[in-house]
């Protein structure tokens, strides 16, 4: 059990590990706890139904923040609780897969891909996750392979349904 004041009520200034800050809600507090590495409070907030897809004032979701700060256990916990693997940041349109690739985290990249992260999703600058993995041959190969599979699926879908939408018949 935590001997510190546990900040679960929104709208109040609370003391957490001897530092004061304004709390707008337990959801943005979740992202703050992840950023600070306060795993216990972050997991406690999730168990008290904080939104797993909480977004901070810096526009990072809880999952983005966990990946950015290399908080693997929290990232796994967020994914198990249904964090959106495709949630982009509003301006840069960074998705969790972009950040995992940038961090060189092969295990998390595999997990995000297994949970449906789109390896073709571009950032606002048009960069796909593979661009963030260029300095890690194993990771780049993993993301590139996922991209090839995704492209084949998209081409197959277009071949099957694109002709129908264009008024043509599909021969299967």
Mean pLDDT across the chain: 78
Query: pTM for this structure?
Result: 0.75
- pLDDT(93) > 90: yes
pLDDT digits (tens, 9 = 90+) for 130-140: 999 988 999 99
| 82 pLDDT above the threshold of 90 | yes
Q: How far is CA 120 from CA 88, 95, 107, 127, in A?
A: 13, 11, 19, 9
Tokens 């168990």 locate to 47
Tens digits of residue pLDDT in 7-66: 443 332 333 333 333 334 555 889 989 999 999 999 898 888 888 998 887 788 999 999
Helix and strand numbers (H, E) in the chain are 9, 2
What pLDDT sits at residue 71? 93
Ramachandran region of residue 123, left (φ > 0), alpha (ψ -120 to 50) or beta?
beta
Confidence band (pLDDT; 50, 70, 90) for 125? very high
| Closest by CA position to 102, among listed 63, 139, 138 | 139
């Amino acid at each position: 059990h935590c001997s510190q004041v546990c900040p679960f009520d929104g709208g109040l200034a609370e003391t957490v590990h001897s530092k004061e800050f304004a709390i707008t809600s337990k959801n943005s507090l979740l992202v703050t706890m992840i950023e600070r590495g306060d795993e216990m409070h972050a997991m406690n907030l999730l168990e008290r139904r904080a939104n797993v897809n909480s977004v901070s004032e810096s526009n990072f979701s809880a999952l983005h923040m966990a990946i950015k700060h290399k908080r693997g256990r929290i990232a796994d916990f967020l994914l198990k609780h249904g964090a959106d693997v495709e949630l982009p940041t509003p301006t840069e349109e960074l998705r969790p897969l972009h950040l995992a690739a940038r961090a060189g985290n092969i295990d998390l990249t595999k997990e995000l891909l297994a949970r449906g992260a789109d390896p073709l999703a571009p950032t606002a600058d048009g960069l796909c996750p593979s661009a963030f993995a260029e300095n890690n041959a194993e990771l780049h190969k993993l993301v590139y392979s996922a991209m090839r599979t995704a492209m084949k699926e998209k081409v197959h879908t277009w071949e099957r349904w694109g002709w129908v939408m264009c008024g043509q018949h599909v021969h299967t």
